[in-house]
C-alpha cells in the first residue's frame, strides 16, 4: 500500500512510502538533499517499520529539531498507528 506524508521543518516536502505488511518496499522523498534522501531510501528498503523507526527517530539536522530521517520515522509511526501494526 502507498502512503503519502507531508514533512514539517525540513527541506524535503513529501515522502511517498510503499509498505507491504510490515516491510518497507520503497521510499521516495520529494525535495531535500538528493544524495542523502536517495541514500536513506535505498537503505531502508526491505527493513521493517519498527527497525527504521528505532534507527532514525530523533536524528537532528542543524538546529531544526528534526531531519529527513526523523520525518521518515514520524511518517512510519503514523502509518503504524493507522494500520495498527504491531511488532
CA distance 30 to 28: 6
pTM: 0.92
pLDDT reading at 86 higher than 60: no
Domain CATH code at residue 32: 3.90.1010.10
Number of domains in the chain: 1
User: What is the structure's pLDDT at 44?
Assistant: 98
pLDDT in tens, 9-68: 999 999 999 999 999 999 999 999 999 999 999 999 999 999 999 999 999 999 999 999
pLDDT reading at 80 higher than 90: yes
CA distance 54 to 49: 9
Q: Which domain holds residue 61?
A: 2-83
Residue 83: pLDDT band with limits 50, 70, 90: confident
Close Cβ partners of 6 (under 8 Å, ≥ 6 residues apart): 13, 14
Amino acid at each position: 500500500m502507498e502512503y503519502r506524508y507531508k514533512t514539517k521543518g525540513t527541506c524535503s516536502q513529501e515522502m511517498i512510502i510503499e509498505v507491504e505488511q510490515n516491510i518497507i518496499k520503497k521510499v521516495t522523498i520529494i525535495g531535500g538533499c538528493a544524495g542523502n534522501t536517495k541514500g536513506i531510501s535505498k537503505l531502508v528498503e526491505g527493513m521493517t517499520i519498527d527497525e527504521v523507526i528505532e534507527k532514525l527517530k530523533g536524528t537532528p539536522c542543524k538546529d531544526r529539531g528534526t531531519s529527513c530521517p526523523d520525518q521518515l520515522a514520524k511518517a512510519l509511526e503514523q502509518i503504524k498507528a493507522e494500520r495498527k501494526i504491531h511488532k
